[in-house]
Chains A and B, each alone.
Chain A
Amino acid sequence: MCFTQNFWSLLISGLANGFVYALIALGYTLVYGVLQLINFAHSEVFMSGGFAGLFLMDHLVGKGHVPSGLTSVGLVLAGTIVAALAGGLVAYILERVAYRPLRRRHAPQLAYLISAIGMSFFLFSLAGKEFGRDSASVPQTFTNGTVFHVFGAGVQTYYLLVAGAAIIMLVGLDRLIGATRLGQGIRAVAQDADTASLMGVNIDRIIALTFIVGGLLGGAAGFLFGIGNGVVYTMGFTPGIKAFTAAVLGGIGNVRGAVLGGLLLGVCENVPIGCVDTSWRDVIAFGILVLVLLVRPTGILGERLGRSA
């Protein structure tokens, strides 16, 4: 009863969350593909996108009446782009500061993880210091409401916005990896970094660009998430772990897997809310993580960026 009552509504809002997870998960998956490392600080890329979007909207919209029509579209577009750029920039800094010096020295893998954790703590605490520690709402850029119904469940403007923006970016990424020189480079490094290097691929450049591409997506996700859920300096933590779960669920290192995993996780953690308290949502998500790792650690679509993307 409780399961079926709100099933469609929960499925739809779960899918919207899932798109956000998918965008973040791609950052993990791309970096994992080329470095075989979990970029622990990716959650702060997400956070920085949220703040960039917030400040831009604060500046452009301000208080008072809610914009509509083309203005809304333009604002959301501008916010997404600026957030993506901020995310890309932070991801690049991350690579330069926390990863490249260690790579130069062939540091043990543990060192990368720890330096990424350090970067994560540094970035979110610094954001808390510079931008205040209270959560803030992004000014309304459009009037949210139900657009149409699916099986009696309302589909909101916000969900459509998130899904639309995410799909555009995901398709773009798929093309980027499949059909450009950069994509070839990323795939080559993911398959075999040493050989790629011998073939004249500039590994440092490819790795930096991979971080930036992941950062663009993560930053945009931060803005899309922030519109609906507010922006706060610690906002990256939970979505970050969940997106990682999504990446593992789909098969880490696998681009399409990350998208699938994100959507699946978004739905799987949301639908049971019909029967239990909202407070168990995170437990469900992390429970899925533990289960997946125990049962099928390579994920649904399997690992490897090089082959299946």
Chain B
Amino acid sequence: MTRKRSLSTVVAVAAVATLALTACGSSKSAKTTTSSSGKTYTIAYQGPLSGGNAQLGLNMVYAVKLAINQANSGTSQFGKLPFTLKYTQQDDQGSATQAPTAAQAIIGNSNVVAVVGPAFSGATKASGALYAQANLATVSPSATAPDLANNGWGNFFRVVADDNAQGPADAQYLAKVVKAKNVYVIDDASAYGSGLASAFKGAAGSNNLTIESETAPGTTQCQAGQGNVQQYDALATKIKSSGAQAVFYAGYYCDFALLTKAVRAAGYQGTLMSDDGSNDPKYISQAGASVAEGALTSCACSVLASSPAAQAFSTQFKALAGFAAGTYSAEAYDSANAIIDVMKKLSSSGDAITRGAIVNGLKSVDFKGLTKEVKFQSNGNIAGTAVYVSKVENGQLVQLGLISDLVKQ
């Protein structure tokens, strides 16, 4: 008995060793050098690639890869470029613990000239000081916490509007267009959702809205945190009996879909509104077209499907990634392209492409992205925070227009 087991141990160790060896072997062979004209620069991505939020990270990874592939093959909007781009990634699990190590690994790679990410606000807070010290530009597709822009880092940019842009606009829309008096505000207990909800509540007074608010932790995949599935029945009951004319949900589409199903099943008739996290066709497929009918979503971006460029992006993304583009894919694509745009300008003006030069270049970048005009304010926030509203009509997300225009009518 003992003999057999001690030998099995040997085997187990051998097995692990073999695996490790295969791993090392193939990792070496995987590193192939691209031979192309000009110099080679690396654009890094930092975000969650493991843990509960891996899918959000993958949504962005393939968008960045796609932007880089297009730039290298000369099929992008920038045409043929005099340099070659490479891609590298660091996994921070969306966690404040892992983020500094990921950031250090990117900073330590001297080929990296700019970073798409960090994806999450918490990870950005934990690694921002390191990037600032290295003067390495970070363009986040998805970190929306308002106070990120107030750190004076100088190298921080984001192509997504912060919560302070969207929340008040949504409150205004519900008050002026939907003519709601009482609104039930729910957030998903993620950093994103709770920030947005408090921005919404902050604008309630000026719009004469009475607010009842609640936190309902979202399902794993749609928030940074625990693995659980929220059961919305109890919440639906409370919403129905509260007499609120509208519900504002600050969170992501999968939970908004579950909430929609629950409140409609409970017989609630009021308006449902959510944010850019829910501004996704998957919301309709998950809630069911008939149930989702009439729900509103807002976004500081225009709906993807509307332009041919966006349609091309969707097809190419699917071909590269094997799954459809999702939340923050287009923003990540824009972030990468903003960096490539700066690099192109630098090389055409004969300047050296360095980390510092890209930071400076991003401050004055201005190009037409998929989601919006990419142009940054001095604190790194995206300029022009036009918030659009969309409505589910006949199973399609139809863009109604700019909130600022709609409230005037």
Interfacial residues, chain A to chain B (CB-CB below 8 A): 5-6, 9-10, 13-14, 16-17, 63, 66, 105, 124, 128, 132-137, 139-140, 144-146, 153-154, 156, 158, 225, 228-230, 232-235, 237-239, 270, 273-274, 277-279, 281-282
Q: Is the CB of B229 within 8 A of A232?
A: yes
| Most A-side CB within 10 Å, residue of B52, B216, B228, B290 | B228
Q: How far is the CB of B325 from chain A (nearest CB, A)?
A: 13
Q: Is the CB of A137 within 8 A of B231?
A: no
Q: Is the CB of A278 within 8 A of B234?
A: yes
Q: How many residues of B contact A (CB 8 A)?
A: 44
9 pairs across A/B with beta carbons < 8 Å? A9-B266, A10-B237, A66-B288, A140-B288, A229-B258, A234-B52, A273-B234, A273-B235, A278-B217
Report the nearest B residue to A9, measured CB to CB. B237
Q: Is the interface of B mostly helix, strand, loop or mixed?
A: helix
Stretch touching chain A among B98-106, B172-180, B219-227, B385-393: B219-227
Q: How far is A156 from B258 in the complex, measured between Cα atoms in Å? A: 15
Q: How far is A110 from B268 in the complex, measured between Cα atoms in Å? A: 50
Q: How far is the CB of B204 from chain A (nearest CB, A)?
A: 18
Report the nearest B residue to A237, measured CB to CB. B227
Q: Is the CB of B241 within 8 A of A6?
A: yes
Report the nearest B residue to A266, measured CB to CB. B231
Q: How far is A219 from B262 in the complex, measured between Cα atoms in Å? A: 23
Question: With A66-B288, A232-B221 as given contacts, are A270 and B234 in contact (CB-CB < 8 Å)?
Answer: yes
Q: Is the CB of A63 within 8 A of B285?
A: yes
Q: Which 10 A-B pairs have the closest CB atoms?
A: A234-B227, A13-B233, A238-B228, A278-B216, A9-B237, A137-B286, A279-B215, A273-B234, A135-B254, A144-B265
Instruction: Please tell me which one of the listed residues B54, B55, B214, B229 contacts residue A229 in the complex, with CB atoms under 8 A apart.
Output: B229
Set of chain A residues within 8 Å of B286, measured between Cβ atoms: 135-137, 230
Question: With A9-B237, A134-B221, A229-B230 as given contacts, are A277 and B215 in contact (CB-CB < 8 Å)?
Answer: yes
Q: Is the CB of A281 within 8 A of B234?
A: yes
Is B161 close to A, CB under 8 A?
no
Instruction: Please tell me which one of the listed residues A5, A66, A278 contacts residue B214 in the complex, with CB atoms under 8 A apart.
Output: A278
Q: How far is A273 from B286 in the complex, measured between Cα atoms in Å? A: 26
Set of chain B residues within 8 Å of A225, measured between Cβ atoms: 229
Q: How far is A135 from B189 in the complex, measured between Cα atoms in Å? A: 17
Q: Is the CB of B258 within 8 A of A134?
A: no
Question: With A10-B234, A277-B214, A282-B228 as given contacts, are A133 and B54 in contact (CB-CB < 8 Å)?
Answer: yes
| Most B-side CB within 10 Å, residue of A133, A237, A239 | A133
Set of chain A residues within 8 Å of B267, measured between Cβ atoms: 145-146, 154
Is B287 close to A, CB under 8 A?
yes
Is B261 close to A, CB under 8 A?
yes
Q: Is the CB of B220 within 8 A of A135?
A: yes
Question: With A5-B241, A270-B234 as given contacts, are A277 and B216 in contact (CB-CB < 8 Å)?
Answer: yes
Q: How far is A81 from B215 in the complex, measured between Cα atoms in Å? A: 36
Q: How far is the CB of A26 from chain B (nearest CB, A)?
A: 20
| Most B-side CB within 10 Å, residue of A105, A124, A235 | A235
Question: With A6-B241, A63-B285, A66-B290 as given contacts, are A230 and B219 in contact (CB-CB < 8 Å)?
Answer: yes
Set of chain B residues within 8 Å of A237, measured between Cβ atoms: 226-228
Task: Report B196-222 CB contacts with A as 1/0, cut-off 8 Å.
Answer: 000000000000000000111101111
Q: How far is A234 from B222 in the complex, measured between Cα atoms in Å? A: 12
Set of chain B residues within 8 Å of A146, measured between Cβ atoms: 265-267
Q: How far is the CB of B199 from chain A (nearest CB, A)?
A: 19
Q: How far is A135 from B307 in the complex, measured between Cα atoms in Å? A: 28
Set of chain A residues within 8 Å of B262, measured between Cβ atoms: 228
Set of chain A residues within 8 Å of B235, measured between Cβ atoms: 273, 278
Set of chain A residues within 8 Å of B232, measured between Cβ atoms: 229, 278
Q: How far is A239 from B228 in the complex, measured between Cα atoms in Å? A: 8
Set of chain B residues within 8 Å of A144, measured between Cβ atoms: 261, 265
Q: How far is the CB of B63 from chain A (nearest CB, A)?
A: 16
Q: Is the CB of A134 within 8 A of B55?
A: yes
Q: How far is A136 from B228 in the complex, measured between Cα atoms in Å? A: 14
Q: How far is the CB of B103 from chain A (nearest CB, A)?
A: 24
Is B368 close to A, CB under 8 A?
no
Instruction: Please tell me which one of the listed residues B221, B241, B265, B287 contacts residue A137 in the complex, with CB atoms under 8 A apart.
Output: B287
Q: Is the CB of A137 within 8 A of B257?
A: yes
Is B323 close to A, CB under 8 A?
yes
Set of chain A residues within 8 Å of B80, measured between Cβ atoms: none
Report the nearest B residue to A227, measured CB to CB. B261
Within 8 A of A (CB), among B285-336: 285-288, 290-291, 323, 326
Report the nearest B residue to A234, measured CB to CB. B227
Q: How far is A96 from B214 in the complex, measured between Cα atoms in Å? A: 45
Report the nearest A residue to B323, measured CB to CB. A132
Set of chain B residues within 8 Å of A5, measured between Cβ atoms: 241
Q: How far is A229 from B262 in the complex, measured between Cα atoms in Å? A: 9
Set of chain B residues within 8 Å of A63, measured between Cβ atoms: 285
Set of chain B residues within 8 Å of A279, measured between Cβ atoms: 189, 214-217
